[in-house]
Chain A
């Protein structure tokens, strides 16, 4: 173990033990301590503050919030839209990943770059971008602003990269020998895909789906301009949360935020379980 004095100048004295062999050295302990303080101040304490605030009023806060027709319908719209978009992504994302890995054509690098754009584009700009083609001045006559289609479109835009980027590396690693073997044994194209390729991809697809769903229910910026935020029709839960916050109703805001955290957590756990089941069965 390094001595305390060696830590004082930020350099632990040389140690010969393998770092992974057991307990932490003093230098690493200091680093871990600093990192944990920062992580707690930034993430853990603020998120607990939400739960504490929401629990402060007991169940009645939740009951009160859920009694509101407007909030219920916002929750419902958000969860159902995210589910629908995630389902679309599971199909489209896998197809895009497949094409990026197995197909070769001119402009492939550009296509690969395009996939990351929704991740990097500011969400408020996403709304603006979609409105310029599908908005009131639509040059192609498709106007979906202030409808539920707008919610789906914006969510599909921002969640596009998740499944592509989780499936792509798995597909790259996948050995084509098993496919060749299946084919040589007389398996058809579809059978090979269903029995050989798909099972290998399922864990990645579900991991991406969890991220995509969680992003969908938490989306705010891209929906603000395009969905119109009509109460009971196109208002999503983040927008509802923001209006509680603006109105100074922090207890209600915290209750809605807690519900969102719980739904995201449930989704991640459920998809993890489903993924294990599916992976084991096939």
Chain B
């Protein structure tokens, strides 16, 4: 795969350079240059922008809340994702194909639709389950559980999509061997299956972490968005930007982008190792 192709289709230097030029120009204008301006705006006055943003208790609270929600929903989703991947690949049951199509559904649903769907079911006044849950002391919408649910919905397919192809590739010979030697399901999972899919799980986790930190629309609908209480970092960015506190908006944005890019760098650094094995 890595050896340069010798085919005619790529050997023409003219085609090659035109292609390079078009692609690099497109990515530069769409992606790199605008992002560079975000960095430039953030550090227009050196570190003071970030320092001032971090002195605002609402900003600190929003960042903490975002981190808590991201960690909680990624943890829930990782357990679910690995479990459902094992079921989809290793088991045969009625509705398996339908389930594997449905798992990808959240990728095509608008974040606002996600929020609306959760509100219709979990709102404390008129939701299907909301009043019952609130009578039993669990407020979902406008509170932490709702924000975690919304984030879980959005990142749902990310772990599954990474793990399923690797599981299929691995096959189940080793698992069967372990089982025939007397290992129980739990031992087989920990000693054989998990080491095999470990990197896929890590990619899935890192990608969903990046996505969870940045979720905006769905969380905005189900959260109360009260500053210092139920406002996450992305909603805070919108509020500050529209409230003419653009320096704070840029600083918080920069921190969010930095976290997302760090996640991607981690994935990129891990991936080649996997290929060499």
Which of these, B6, B37, B99, B105, contacts A132 with CB under 8 Å?
B37
B residues 180-239 touching A (CB-CB < 8 Å): 180, 182-186, 207, 210-211, 213-217, 221, 234-235, 237-238
**Contact, CB under 8 Å: A47 / B109:** yes
Q: Out of B15, B128, B260, which one reaches A120, CB within 8 Å?
A: B260
Q: Is the CB of B214 within 8 A of A120?
A: yes
Q: How large is the interface on A (under 10, 10 to 19, 20 to 34, 35 or more residues)?
A: 35 or more
Q: Is B176 part of the contact surface with A, judged by Cβ < 8 Å?
A: yes
A16: interface (CB < 8 Å): yes
Please tell me if A35 contacts chain B, counting CB pairs below 8 Å. Answer: yes
Q: Cα distance A6–B256 when bound, in Å? A: 46
Q: Tell whether A95 pairs with B260 under 8 Å between CB atoms, given A13-B184, A14-B179, A132-B34.
A: no
Asked whether, in the complex, the Cβ of A211 is within 8 Å of the Cβ of B108, the reply is yes
Complex contact A129–B7 (CB within 8 A): no
Whether A260 contacts B102 in the complex (CB less than 8 A), given A122-B256, A254-B120, comes out as no
B270 interface residue (CB < 8 Å to A):
no
* Contact (Cβ within 8 A) A129 B35: yes
A25 to B93, CA, bound (A): 11
Report chain B residues within 8 Å CB of A25: 185
Residues of chain A in range 167-211 having any CB-CB distance to chain B below 8 Å: 172-173, 176, 179-180, 183, 188-189, 192-193, 197, 211
Q: Which residues on the A side are within 8 Å of B122 (C-beta)?
A: 46
Contact A122 B260 (CB under 8 A): yes
Given A114-B27, A261-B109, CB of A15 within 8 Å of CB of B179: yes
Total count of chain B residues near the partner, CB < 8 A: 100
Q: Give bound CA distance, A268 to B237, whole Å.
A: 33
The residue among A49, A139, A156 with the most chain B CB atoms within 10 A of its own CB is A49
**B150-191 contacts to A (CB < 8 Å):** 152-153, 156, 172, 175-176, 179-180, 182-186
Q: Which of A27, A121, A179, A254 contacts B116 (CB 8 A)?
A: A254
* Highest count of chain B CB atoms <10 Å: which of A47, A192, A253: A47
Given known A124-B234, A225-B238, contact A46–B117 (CB-CB < 8 A): yes
> Is A4's beta carbon under 8 Å from chain B?
no
| A interface footprint on B93-113 (CB within 8 Å = 1, 0 otherwise) | 100000100110111111111
Asked if A103 and B10 make an inter-chain contact with CB atoms under 8 angstroms apart, the answer reads: yes
Q: Choose one: B20, B27, B216, B221; the contact of A123 (CB below 8 Å).
A: B216
Docked pose: A250 CA to B117 CA in angstroms = 10
Chain B residues with Cβ under 8 A from A189's Cβ?
A: 8-9, 12, 15
With A32-B91, A35-B87, A218-B113 known as contacts, the answer to whether A250 contacts B179 (CB < 8 A) is no
Q: Binding site of A, secondary structure by majority: helix, strand, loop or mixed? A: helix
Q: Is B20 in contact with A132, judged by CB distance below 8 angstroms?
A: no
Question: Is there contact, CB below 8 Å, between A53 and B110?
Answer: no
Which residues of chain A from 224 to 245 have any CB-CB distance to chain B below 8 Å in the complex? 224-225, 238, 241-242, 245
Q: Which of A134, A173, A241 has the most CB of B within 10 A?
A: A241
Q: Within the assembled complex, what's the spacing in Å between the Cα atoms of A132 and B264?
A: 23
Contact A128 B237 (CB under 8 A): yes
Residues of B within 8 A of A42 (CB): 149, 152-153, 156
* Total A-B contacts with CB atoms under 8 angstroms apart: 280
Contact with B along A153-176 (1 / 0, CB 8 A): 100110010000000000011001
The residues in A between 103 and 162 inclusive whose CB is less than 8 angstroms from any CB of B are 103-105, 109, 111-114, 116-125, 128-130, 132-134, 139, 153, 156-157, 160
- Contact check, A134 vs B261: say whether CB atoms are below 8 A apart: no
A214 touches B80 (CB 8 A): no
- The residues of A that contact B10 with a CB separation of less than 8 Å are 102-103
What residue in chain A is nearest B127 (Cβ atoms)? Answer: A49
Decide: A179 and B9 in contact? CB cutoff 8 A. Answer: yes
User: Which residues of B1-54 are within 8 A (CB) of A?
Assistant: 1, 4-10, 12, 15-16, 19-20, 22-23, 26-27, 30-35, 37-38, 40-41
Residue of B nearest to A138 (CB): B37
Is B118 an interface position by the 8 A CB rule?
A: yes
Most buried by B among A16, A44, A124, A156: A124
Is there an interface contact between A43 and B153, defined as CB atoms closer than 8 Å?
yes
Contact of B93 among A32, A96, A111 (CB under 8 A): A32
CB-CB under 8 A from A274, the residues of chain B are: none
Q: What is the interface of chain A, defined by CB distance below 8 A to chain B?
A: 10-16, 18-20, 22, 24-25, 27-28, 31-32, 34-35, 38-39, 42-47, 49-50, 53, 92, 95-96, 98-99, 101-105, 109, 111-114, 116-125, 128-130, 132-134, 139, 153, 156-157, 160, 172-173, 176, 179-180, 183, 188-189, 192-193, 197, 211, 214-215, 217-221, 224-225, 238, 241-242, 245, 250, 253-254, 257, 260-261, 264-265, 268
Can you pick out 18 interface pairs between chain A and chain B where the beta carbons lie within 8 Å of each other?
A19-B175, A20-B92, A39-B80, A43-B105, A95-B22, A103-B19, A120-B214, A121-B214, A122-B216, A122-B234, A129-B37, A132-B37, A157-B30, A211-B107, A221-B111, A224-B238, A242-B112, A260-B110
